[in-house]
Chains A and B, each alone.
Chain A
Amino acid sequence: MIKRVTAWIDYALALAVLLGAWWFATGPMAMPTYLLPSPARTWNALAGIAMSGELWLHLGFTMQNIVLGLIFGLVAGIALAYVMTRFPKLAIWLDGPLVILQTAPKIALAPLFVVWFGFGILSKIILIFSLVFFPVFIGAVAGFRTLDPKMKDLSKLLGLGNIQRFRQIELPSAMPEIFVGLKIGAVQALVGAVLAEWMAGKLGLGYLMTFAGATYKTPLLFAAVLLTAVLGLLMHVVLTLLENRLLSWKGAKR
């Protein structure tokens, strides 16, 4: 408990120093606003779009895409990994294509996704999905493959059906590795979401950035960048909480 409090104090102090340096650069050092807007101006820009409701539209859009991409990527990654460990023949067949897809830089495919799937939400979710899928898939394969063979004996002795075995034994025991993949995927998802919005559409934090940049609204650009950072932090916190809850049985983590 005391440890946690001191950790928070440390965080707050670091943040305060950063904020102080920022204020110093814009105030006493008089950096021009188009290069570095002051904290107050940035705050005003943020408050402005928050009041007008525009902010929530953009933020909501980005978050919705990330959440959908994460869910689809998670489910598909686990599903394919499971099918491949159950049917090793399939794994041999799919190995080559998967390696090619995995090593291809998904960011470079982003324009192609726009061509294929349009300017709307579909191409964005597909980009995020492609970024989330592989880390989850690789984690899940590792998780399913390291299953204790004695656990298989146990499920056979108890006569568990396929669904029972998956839900009660295989999925929970692969969960630690799946989570490693998911956490990597979540960072990628944010990158993918912002990038997709840079390229096309009129919504999202990424769009807000390109709009602010193109119209020299540096305080707004700053606000959007900071929001993205906060969003990333938020996702990290949510996933860590979820991990602590789901994997508390592993014990001795932090």
Chain B
Amino acid sequence: MAQSERMIDIAGVHKTFVADHGTVTALEPVTITIKEGEFISIVGPSGCGKSTLLRLISGLDHASGGTITLDTAGRKRPVGFVFQEPVLLPWKTVLENVRFPLDTAGVSRAEADRTALDLIKMVGLAGFEKALPRQLSGGMRQRAAIARSLSDDPPILLMDEPFSAVDLLTRDTLNDELLRIWQSTGKTILLVTHSVEEAAYLADRVMVMTARPGKLKCVHDVDLARPRGEETKLDMAYHALVAQLRRDLRTSGGSDEGTH
């Protein structure tokens, strides 16, 4: 994986909301550069601004200050986004949902079908092309949502606690599948999660964020061998990192012990 090029450049980005009683700081200035093909986990408690950061990168919200530069060469849709809920259109089949970004971009039906069917196979939903979302389990819906987010081939994939609504066993499986998808597509992935284990298991780097006010506390490099699997979870380095992340989250804000 070529990790030389800068894919996302975040410089002093911050966000304040105007609430009933004055302004609320959702995110204190964040500066970080993310390389092409990198897998970044963002971990932190509720209210630490991790979802806000993702929304700012995606363009769903606008920053109060600072700049975000995406190296996506003026693409109309530079990012794919996977929400906490699948957000599938309930009146469309799996195939139609996955194809939706292509249909609305005016891609020919034959080409869109080919892409969508490949993606459906990749996320393990082959045989469910004609199923409606309500006929699928939570994990399968989220698979469909991932396939949709990849269908118009965005270089960046943003995932906002994508697996928090599925059971633990399914979550482990989906994490492994996500790593496989990442390895085969070379996307730059930012994944927000509550789970330090998930963050450490998946990422090249883990961004630790703390709440009130939301800020980036530190960034850890994850030096675990790839491809990762069950043996990774037995690795001492993995457990050390998980423990370190826990400590980072427990000691509240203030301190500035940037490990990286």
Contacts and interface: CB of A to CB of B under 8 A. Distances in A.
A169 B90 CA distance: 10
A150 interface: yes
For chain A, the bracket of interface size reads: 10 to 19
Given A157-B60, A251-B134, A150 B104 contact: no
B87 A151 contact: yes
Contacts of A169: 89
B87 A150 contact: yes
A162 B139 CA distance: 32
Interface string B57-86: 011100000000000000011010101010
A249 interface: yes
A249 B91 contact: yes
A150 B86 CA distance: 9
A150 B161 CA distance: 14
A154 B87 contact: yes
A30 interface: no
B54 to A, nearest CB: 11
B101 interface: yes
B132 interface: yes
Interface residues of B, number: 21
Interface in A111-166: 148, 150-151, 153-154, 156-160, 164
A157 B132 contact: no
A212 to B, nearest CB: 47
B153 to A, nearest CB: 13
A175 B100 CA distance: 19
Contacts of A172: 89, 91
B199 to A, nearest CB: 23
Nearest to B58: A157
Contact of B76 (A153, A154, A159, A249): A159
B61 to A, nearest CB: 10
Nearest to A169: B89
Contacts of A250: 90
Interface string A24-64: 00000000000000000000000000000000000000000
B81 A153 contact: yes
Contact of A156 (B60, B100, B104): B60
Contact of A249 (B60, B87, B132): B132
A168 interface: yes
Contact of A158 (B83, B92, B104, B134): B104
A160 B76 CA distance: 11
Interface of B: 58-60, 76-77, 79, 81, 83, 85, 87, 89-92, 100-101, 104-105, 132, 134-135
Given A158-B77, A249-B92, 12 more contacts: A150-B85, A150-B87, A151-B87, A151-B89, A153-B81, A156-B59, A156-B60, A157-B79, A158-B100, A173-B90, A175-B91, A251-B135
6 contacts: A148-B87, A153-B83, A156-B59, A249-B90, A249-B134, A251-B132
